[in-house]
Amino acid sequence: MMKANFFKYLTILVMLILAGSPANSQDKSKEIQKVQDDMKVLQGDWFCIMEETGGQSLTKDKVKEMNKRMNVDKSFMIMKRVKGDKLGVYEGKFELDSTTKPKKFDFTGKGPSGANVEWKGIYELTENEFEITLVEKGLRPKEFKTGKDEKGTYMQFKRDKD
């Protein structure tokens, strides 16, 4: 009888541990809320005010000439830019993870040529500013800049209020 009760209580204890404690589910709720909050803030239209690749910042005139714009609708993003006399469009789905430091941004979609594109990045977001560093191949960036020997792009966007 005593053995049966011991195993019964042991089984209940294991089930409770596997199910997670209320503290764990509260932490998970907070993490989900952080992501939802950032997703809500990111919605809408943005324009690029600064870009850096390979440790070199583009001039303000070049950034203006490229006219890089981003539209976010739910978890779908369209980014357009002008390169030479051609319009380039990137479109696809993205995911945020605002529970890490730095926060993570992952994009999967199509590039201007129709080829598949996958970016890994980090981001920082306020109501009117979005800062992001992305790489197409390699390790996720750790800083909001690019080094001269690194691939990747760092961009600053402002909310387009018009």
Joined tokens for residue 112: 């201007």
DSSP reduced 3-state for 40: helix
Mean pLDDT for 84-103 is 94
CA–CA gap between residue 121 and residue 134 (Å, rounded):
4
Return the CATH number of the domain spanning residue range 39-159: 2.40.128.20
Does the pLDDT value for residue 10 go beyond 80? no
Mean pLDDT lowest for which of 4-18, 61-75, 144-158?
4-18
Could you identify the residue written with the tokens 């199509």?
110
pTM of the model: 0.81
Q: What sign results for the dihedral spanned by CA atoms 119, 127, 103, 20?
A: negative
Domain segments of the chain as ranges:
39-159
DSSP reduced 3-state for 72: strand
Could you identify the residue written with the tokens 């809320």?
33
How many C-beta neighbours within 10 Å does residue 146 have? 22
When pLDDT is cut at 50, 70 and 90, the band that residue 113 belongs to is very high
Q: What is the pLDDT of residues 128-147, one digit of tens each?
A: 999 999 998 888 999 999 98
DSSP reduced 3-state for 98: coil
DSSP reduced 3-state for 148: coil
